[in-house]
Amino acid sequence: MSDVEFWFDFRSPYSYLAHTQLAGLGAPVALKPMYVLQVMEIVGNTPTTITCEAKGRYARADLGRWAALYGVPLSGHPKMRALDGRRLMRAALAAIDAGKGDAAVAALFQAVWVNGAPLDTAEDVARLLGAAGFDVAPAAVDAPALDARLDAASREAADRGVFGAPTFITGGQMFFGNDRLDFLRNHLRAAA
């Protein structure tokens, strides 16, 4: 069965919801962190749930429906607008490099969308990752080399047609949004 690339950003609630469903895909999943606002800027997309008040209100209700359907908690970090999204994505890249990506990404999604764990500083992020089994120095989370890699990953995502998060790519096919998981599952079954 083909690997599935999961392109995500921690500040995307739909990425969190999709992440809760990865185990049910029945295929290996490659975690692909990107900075979604950068990707959207590259491709000329607009985060309409942020810029359109009516759509933002609808999305909040929609997110609750999806969380209930999946049977997962969803609350949103109390400091969501202040979170350093790039720092979280750099932390994911570092953890993936160290072979600790699954646990670290799960812990970061939980911190952002479930338990509101402190994420204000590099020390907070390093402490959270340490509890998830990935010991990293706080300075490493903010390393310029990781920032450059995040830029490259975001450019790669845009070059491959990604325009938002979450996006799944497998077997030359792209599926955008947690609401396309059934289409993805069907594609994986047909390809098996």
Contacts of 156 (CB under 8 A, 6+ apart): 34
Q: Which amino acid is at 116?
A: G
Instruction: Check 12, 15, 75, 154 and give the catalytic one.
Output: 12
Residue 123 burial (CB count, 10 A) = 13
Give, to the nearest 10 degrees, the angle between helix 122-131 and helix 85-97.
Answer: 40
Q: What is the rounded (10 degree) CA torsion for 129, 133, 139, 142?
A: -50
Contact, 119 vs 49, CB < 8 A?
A: no
pLDDT of 142 reads 95
Task: Please state the pTM of the whole predicted model.
Answer: 0.96
- Cα separation of 84 and 97, whole Å? 20
Domain with 37 in it: 4-191
pLDDT of 4 reads 98
pLDDT of 2 reads 61
pLDDT along the chain (192 residues), means of 10: 89 97 96 97 90 90 96 92 94 96 98 96 97 95 96 98 98 96 96 90
pLDDT of 48 reads 85
Q: Which amino acid is at 155?
A: R
CA distances from 11 to 80, 99, 107, 163, 166 (A): 8, 23, 13, 15, 11
pLDDT of 163 reads 98
Peptide bond before 144: cis, by omega within 30 degrees of 0? no
Q: Is there a catalytic annotation at residue 12?
A: yes
Q: Any idea what the CATH number is for the domain that residue 136 is in? A: 3.40.30.10
Number of domains in the chain: 1
